[in-house]
Chains A and B, each alone.
Chain A
Amino acid sequence: MREFFAMGGYAFYVWTSYALACVILAWNILLPHRVHKRFISRLRRRLTQRTQA
């Protein structure tokens, strides 16, 4: 197990690459998801305001 994490002495380069991939991919899912949800709730609020008016 320790050998696996050591990556033959290249641990820093290999694991930083995988960590960067993780961060960049997560950002590309979480951000659009949040923007979409927020936009839907804004549209819905506008719709209820208009029906009440």
Chain B
Amino acid sequence: MWTIFHRWASPPYFYRQSTRLLPWLSAICALLIIAGLIGGLILAPSDYQQGESYRIIYIHVPSAWMSLFIYMVMASSGAIALIWRIKLAEVMLVASAPIGASFTLLALLTGVLWGKPMWGAWWVWDARLTSELLLLFLYLGIIALYNAIDDKRRAASAIAVLALVGVVNIPIIHYSVQWWSTLHQGPTVTKFGAPSIYIGMLIPLLLMALGFMLFYAISVLLRARTELLAREAASRWVREMLEEA
């Protein structure tokens, strides 16, 4: 386990392996999302209360899950970067931020589009919506802070601290629908016991969630590779790779 971890933390190994991995990840990701779309838009029955409008769930819920998941990845990378000064952890932290911001924005926008027909309001200032909006500002703050500091290693340490401080927001988002009274519906999948969602609706949701997860992997690899090259531009492996190709 540790030897695998150490090998992947080495920039040339990471770069070479990710080049080989990307086409496979892309193919599986495309298959998952296509299957999820067919299941969600065509095969799944309409909801007895919300009619066809509930089909927004197949975008909204996976992107909301990803907005939290990516933040946790960033906080963990931040901790690793601060403690062990591993370059790759810094790179993953930086590369994840715009993708996390994108998924947060997508969750908020699709929430607005779902809220209007179901609640009669585009936006309400309740706990779930407000804490998710705060998450978007956290992501944007991390990106802005990184770009404001010229020394990229110092910049990475600064955003690692910010990412770790912001972690308090994550359980607040997750439990907000239980702690405060809200218009937002409670959890139907991520609770103890059996999920209270019909299986024909659940399977496409899980397919989309897996697809989004792989999408994040692809996008973060693409960004991390550029970031890694920029930091290692003077090193020998980069020169050798450029001469090879």
User: Residues on A close to B: CB < 8 A?
Assistant: 4, 7-10, 13-14, 16-18, 20-21, 24-25, 27-29, 32-33, 35-36, 39-40, 43-44, 47
Number of interface residues of B (CB under 8 A): 37
Whether the pair A29, B222 counts as a contact (CB closer than 8 A) is yes
Contact with A along B226-241 (1 / 0, CB 8 A): 1001100100001100
Whether the pair A28, B55 counts as a contact (CB closer than 8 A) is no
Does any Cβ of A come within 8 Å of B110's Cβ? yes
Given A9-B51, A28-B98, A43-B233, are A14 and B226 also a contact pair (CB < 8 Å)? no
- List 22 A-B pairs, Cβ < 8 Å: A4-B42, A8-B51, A10-B52, A13-B113, A14-B53, A14-B56, A17-B56, A18-B59, A20-B59, A25-B102, A29-B219, A29-B222, A32-B219, A32-B223, A33-B222, A35-B226, A39-B226, A40-B229, A40-B242, A43-B229, A47-B239, A47-B243
Whether the pair A39, B222 counts as a contact (CB closer than 8 A) is no
State the Cβ distance, B51 to closest chain A Cβ, in Å.
4
User: Residues on B close to A: CB < 8 A?
Assistant: 41-42, 46, 51-53, 55-56, 59-60, 63, 98-99, 102-103, 105-106, 109-110, 113-114, 116-117, 215, 218-219, 222-223, 225-226, 229-230, 233, 238-239, 242-243
State the Cβ distance, B155 to closest chain A Cβ, in Å.
18
Whether the pair A21, B63 counts as a contact (CB closer than 8 A) is yes
Q: For B103, list chain A residues within 8 Å (CB).
A: 24
Whether the pair A17, B233 counts as a contact (CB closer than 8 A) is no
**Which of B222, B230, B238 is close to A32, meaning CB atoms less than 8 Å apart?**
B222
Whether the pair B230, A14 counts as a contact (CB closer than 8 A) is no
Q: How far does the alpha carbon of A13 sit from the alpha carbon of B226 in the complex, in Å?
A: 37
Whether the pair B102, A27 counts as a contact (CB closer than 8 A) is yes
State the Cβ distance, B167 to closest chain A Cβ, in Å.
23
State the Cβ distance, B95 to closest chain A Cβ, in Å.
8
State the Cβ distance, B97 to closest chain A Cβ, in Å.
12
